[in-house]
Structure 1
Amino acid sequence: MTTTPTAPEIEIVEVAPRDGLQNEKALLPTATKVELVRRSVAAGIRRIEVTAFARPDRVPQMADAAEVLAELRGTEGLTSIGLVLNRKGLERAVAAGCDEITSVVVASDGLAVKNQGVDTAAQIAAWHEIADDARAAGLKASVIIAAAFGCPFDGEVPTARVLDVARGVLDGGPDELAIADTIGVGVPAQVTEIVAGLRELDDTVALRAHFHNTRNTGYANAIAAIAAGVTVLDASTGGIGGCPFAPGATGNIATEDLLYLLERSGQPVRSDRREGIDADAVAATGIWIAEQLGLPQAPALLGRAGRFGGGRR
């Protein structure tokens, strides 16, 4: 293995407590969600998408958002991220004490209307309001362009469409701009093309990527994103989650598997601990959360196969 000292560090955003649990059928108690976050912090992960402030009748898995944040208040090392879809959600996130918020704009009208009841243009307008109010409240505000690689209703999503959406999103001044392969159809060539286009639009905004592994391309896409200049990657402990609109969805890319891939590739991962993020601890948590969800096993593989070679652990 050859380490590249000048390679930029990659930051991992843990999304299992939100995107992972939100898309699993089981409804877990608040205490289990809090334990999941605390285990992630103990393993060395700092930015964690803790919950979503959505309508409880539509997303019952996130109905206890405020309670989860209340239990986690004061957790040393944790930067809590809340997903919000509108100004009401933002108000709830601010009241609950979130450190950051992430909003969503869907690149395709088909999924935008199906998922949130309004088209893409309306979501861009809502994001602008959310961004302004979040800044006024002193919160970092990021935005994810969902379905950037394909839509379950509209089919192919051209890169030109993604970039048009990005122009509208960037006008809102996001602290971080993310692209999401919501249904797991993307391939590395798309990643390279989209990221290059985003860099032409704005060469300063921090770029983040969110990949699902429905067709086993998520990890290849993650490597392509890093090569293209993305410095923040979402991942879900255990690989839990997925998308309810993606038939046969197998989940998000797994945090532990991604950590193994990056470590063996000599890619630095951001950490405030000398020993870095503990991939073995994350893998153990992946096995544990799968048990809590009643899954036969976690989609992640590191917890099953174990580490190899002369790595740190």
Structure 2
Amino acid sequence: MSTAGLPMTVPAEGLPSRVRIHEVGPRDGLQNEKSVVPVEVKAEFIHRLVEAGLDTVEATSFVHPKWVPQLADAEELYGGLADLPASAGVRLPVLVPNERGLERALALGAREIAVFGSATESFARANLNRTVDEALEMFAPVVARASESGARVRGYLSMCFGDPWEGPVPAGQVVDVCRRLLDLGCDELSLGDTIGVATAGQVEELLTALNAAGVPDEVLAVHFHDTYGQALANTLTALRHGVTTVDASAGGLGGCPYARSATGNLATEDLVWMLRGLGVETGVDLDRLVATSTWMADRLGRPSPSRTVRALSPTKEQ
């Protein structure tokens, strides 16, 4: 990549020196595809992402194939990644919906798992067919057993800022569910703006409320969708507040199969471009990452929605 394709670096005060990117493209991105991506393509995608410097790549979900047929190949895919954990620092978390999913994941040697909850009743029923309380009850033995086995547990919390049925979500409501997830034993919480309606002020308000309730920034991650073009602004607000883990999806893949208004995740390339310009380290080779997302876009038969991929891709229109 030429210097013309790199942002000018102007460090800003009040930002972390390094950000850990939690790459969700292979799971959160590909589960939203209408067609099933071949398992060998998924495996190569993950290997390419690791080679680009992403050390945390969420590989798949051990959910029943009836609900997410795009991830029905979880066992085959995860088994084909056995060479990656041997590489220094590579983390391959997986999503599990229940105890059966956990059993499948642990049997393959998974050391990081995630559960997926909701801050609102409407989305809990649409996504899990349970109330918020019932979902937490279902997660309790999953988190306990995972922790007992030595696995690290992440708790995803969707609809933290707005819900398509309920509208704006009060910060106190989110704080309550976050506290309960931590009390179950989750090591990390990912705050999801599932339909992409959050603004910077909301982000600051929620993070401040969480801190006041005893939830430190060190256990938090942010997960923004870019429906209204606010994902980078919201991320920057979270970083200034003290959060150092950001979820992103290579090429901007993804959405949410249970929330029709949700568009793609924050593109990893767009995030890396911004952070590089601010002098924040990520360990990611942007050139390789753009090449990876361009490769995947070719496999999916459509251009990447990432503005950075489009700007830096050698095949971009002139």
TM-score norm. by structure 1 comes to: 0.91
Retained in 1: the 8 A contact 2:164–2:261? Answer: no
By how many angstroms is 1:261 displaced?
0.5
Assess, with a 3 A threshold, how the Cα gap between structure 1 residues 250 and 303 changes in structure 2: closer, same or farther.
same
Retained in 1: the 8 A contact 2:179–2:215? Answer: no
Retained in 2: the 8 A contact 1:213–1:253? Answer: yes
Q: Which residue of 1 aligns with 2:134?
A: 122
Matches within 5 A, 1:1-313: 1-2=10-11, 7-75=16-84, 76-77=87-88, 78-204=90-216, 205-247=218-260, 249-269=262-282, 276-295=283-302, 297-306=303-312
Retained in 2: the 8 A contact 1:280–1:303? Answer: no
Alignment partners' CA distance in 2, 1:55 and 1:19? 15
Q: Secondary structure at the match of 1:244?
A: coil
Retained in 2: the 8 A contact 1:195–1:229? Answer: no
Alignment partners' CA distance in 2, 1:203 and 1:116? 25
TM-score norm. by structure 2 comes to: 0.90
Retained in 2: the 8 A contact 1:104–1:146? Answer: yes
By how many angstroms is 1:126 displaced?
2.1
Q: Secondary structure at the match of 1:93?
A: helix
Tell me the number of residue pairs that the alignment of Structure 1 and Structure 2 aligns. Answer: 300
Retained in 2: the 8 A contact 1:50–1:80? Answer: yes
Retained in 2: the 8 A contact 1:149–1:156? Answer: yes
Amino acid at match of 1:207: L
Retained in 1: the 8 A contact 2:15–2:240? Answer: no
Q: Secondary structure at the match of 1:56?
A: coil
Alignment partners' CA distance in 2, 1:5 and 1:143? 27
Alignment partners' CA distance in 2, 1:22 and 1:137? 27
Q: Deviations over 1:203-252 (max 9, x none)?
A: 44511111111111111111111111111001000001112344454310
Alignment partners' CA distance in 2, 1:156 and 1:302? 30
Retained in 1: the 8 A contact 2:16–2:239? Answer: no
Alignment partners' CA distance in 1, 2:273 and 2:15? 20
Q: Which shows bigger deviation, 109-118 or 73-82? A: 73-82
By how many angstroms is 1:99 displaced?
2.2
Q: Which runs of 5+ in 1 are unaligned?
A: 270-275, 308-313
Q: Secondary structure at the match of 1:36?
A: helix
Q: Secondary structure at the match of 1:80?
A: coil
